[in-house]
Structure 1
């Protein structure tokens, strides 16, 4: 039997907008699944930090749309629950 606790602890990166309902849903879903993740709310950044973060996002998601989620080097654009589950192995 797989250790689901280990699977759920897969580190993830969430790039989001603080006002986006899809971003909020992704954040809530990851939290409810007990996934360790970091969330960067891009619209709350300023100056070079914002510019550099947007440049980083465009490297993995040229449209720079939100949410952009990275799990195990897999990029998921939008709140795609099934894709997130698959990437997490849950």
Structure 2
């Protein structure tokens, strides 16, 4: 089961709201879960910013998951108003 952890720097002036973080988590589950099945997804605030993808069966799957996350982030249609 792939595990995806996206952490935002809580000290950043451009930190996303809880509503936005929840919407991002939902989009990841929707778009990646449809292809890879059950996921463990965490989107939270932290002392640093990072994206960690683990538990994918192949390096190609990890790369594809990372690309899907990038596509989600660039497509702002999911961001709550």
Q: TM-score, normalized by length of structure 2?
A: 0.36
The structure showing larger relative contact order (alpha-carbon pairs under 8 Å, at least 6 residues apart) is 2
